[in-house]
Structure 1
Amino acid sequence: MTNNSSQKSTLGYFRWAFIVTFLGLILGAALGWQTTGTIGGMATVFFVCTVLAVLEISLSFDNAIVNANKLKEMTPAWQHRFLTWGIVIAVFGMRIVFPLAIVAIAANIGPWEALVLAAREPAEYARIMNDAHLPIAAFGGTFLMMVGLNYFFNHEKDVHWIAGLEKLMARSATIKGIEIAFVLALVLIFSSFLGEEEASTFVHCAIYGLLTFLAVEVIGGLLDASQQTMSAAAKGGLGAFIYLEVLDASFSFDGVIGAFALTQNLFVIAIGLGIGAMYVRSMTIMLVEKGTLAEYRYLEHGAFYAILILSVIMYVQTMFHIPEVITGLGGAALIGISLWSSIRYNKKEQAAESAQAHKELHA
């Protein structure tokens, strides 16, 4: 990361996000004009792109904080790779290629046919995507739940926000596999509320989500164990890179599915969510370079609680719909409360230090 990060203004971090927003909204307006040929249609697509970008940003506050938490452990070379190639994969891979892949698999057609379907029959494309929501929610919800629990079930964790609960989880971390047992129990509970066929799909996809998380952890562990034989540029980087990409995929599941409630046009969705993804990248860089996570001690806690709530919401959505605005506002509220708690803690610490200095001065 750059050495002059302390002199860089907050707005400076969002320069590229602003540029992409400007270009994306112009492209959205042009797409609206091309598809409808009216000023009203152009304005509608422009508005939908804006709303999708805001939706993505609101859903991704916790994503940026978790990214920053992982990035601070990576070498500068791998940080740069994630923030360049990683964002390309996030924007184009998860917002365009991934939905096409889901439709191609679900409809048993080729990728090109899926793209043609998205362009010519958006309603059918949206129907197939919505039908695929249950397995996606089971997979993504399980992966995110393991990410959240893995943060709290850590016997070395000594900073606690909700002290009673977090101390209990930290102590329980000495019981091997407790978080896996917790997730599997929750999967069985939720599957019991579904029909036989849906329950089978839910359990299978949840297990795949769990195995994906464990596989990423194993890869990271193997890379860490073999650091002595790896080049400096690769140390601690590839495993974390893969982890962050799968994490971003899990976060984007809900946003991509929810976007179809606003529009059935894949290209409008890609523009709106792509704009939002650029703000996630900018937030991630700012958090890493400014050391914000170290400055606000409970910010990470709020993000990981938000992840746990999102994972449960994804499970619940297999039974009935929960508006994405509730998901986004809920996560943002938790992060806001954790930020407020951090500021209060910092003020108390500063007051205590001032009192101690005053006492020593007059001793």
Structure 2
Amino acid sequence: MYNIFDFNMEDLKDWMKGNGESQFRASQITNWLYKKGQWDFDCMTNVSKSLAKKLKRNFYIDIPELVKSYESKSKDTFKFLYRYRDGNVIETVVMKYKHGNSVCVSTQVGCRMGCKFCASTVDGMVRNLSSGEILAQVLRSQSEIGERISNVVLMGSGEPLDNYDNVLKFLKMISCEYSLNIGQRHITLSTCGIVPKIKQLADESLQITLAISLHSPDDIKRKKIMPIANKYSIAEIIDACRYYIDKTGRRISFEYALVRGVNDTLECAEDLIQLLKGLLCHVNLIPVNEVRENEFKKSSPNNIKSFYDKLNENKIETTVRREMGSDIDAACGQLRRSYLESKRYRKGVENGGDLVRCR
């Protein structure tokens, strides 16, 4: 059986034709799935019983089960823990802004990139998510908040470019009129810097925003917090960014998580200025999320302001990301990890054996 969300319009038309059905039935099915939010073939009233039976024999509608949900005290951030058919759990975050609702989706169960400040990578990667599983996060989240999602950020658990084919199909599907019709300029993809895939993505002629998780202007310091830096140098990443800008005309966003005593000095700011000078870009400063699995601490407000001021004074357009959902473990991987630890704890108690908790 197939997850019907993995089928785009052409895939569905081909399936209908191959199974003795009119191709227009594909439009009827997608209208129910994406526009009306109906996830039961038997409840699609303009679909014949014979077609509904065929669909049920060949497809399942893989909307993940809601395991837990949290709402921030400020009521502008929601975090959802979803479980897929195979029992794996991922997390999705919805952030409410004046300009609309943004959803931050996961692209993998876990992550193998090993970034030191991220909870997503602590247990490694379990598997990739399919295009339909990523898309279903948006659908389910829309249903949970009862409002339309207008912006998508691929910045949850996983490295999107490490799951390239599924992510690319997701990007193309979610922006289609028959689907959720979210414009590509309202989609941001974040990567830690897989250089060949950045160039490959540039050749796809998409209009999404590319965000690079940089976090240091120095290769030696970057290697200490991001293992990917051992494979691709900052110079190689900047070269790939120039290629992306030339091919798409789109501005690059650089994410920079400020860690106290590691990368938040004015010297680091000066190095970053020299690195990005003349590049069509924007810097997003992120006060690092403090997680139990590492000792990284958030920069002081004074250091954050000084860093910000230094960049802007030197014509590097910079913003400081507003902290949202810190009271509900909204940082990448924290909720999933808490859930897995709790599950292991319960299992250990039930088995009556010695319990070793992950730290």
Question: Taking structure 1 as the reference length, what is the TM-score of the superposition?
Answer: 0.28
Give the number of the structure with larger relative contact order, counting CA–CA contacts within 8 Å between residues 6 or more apart: 1
Q: Which has the higher strand share?
A: 2
Q: Which has the higher helix share?
A: 1
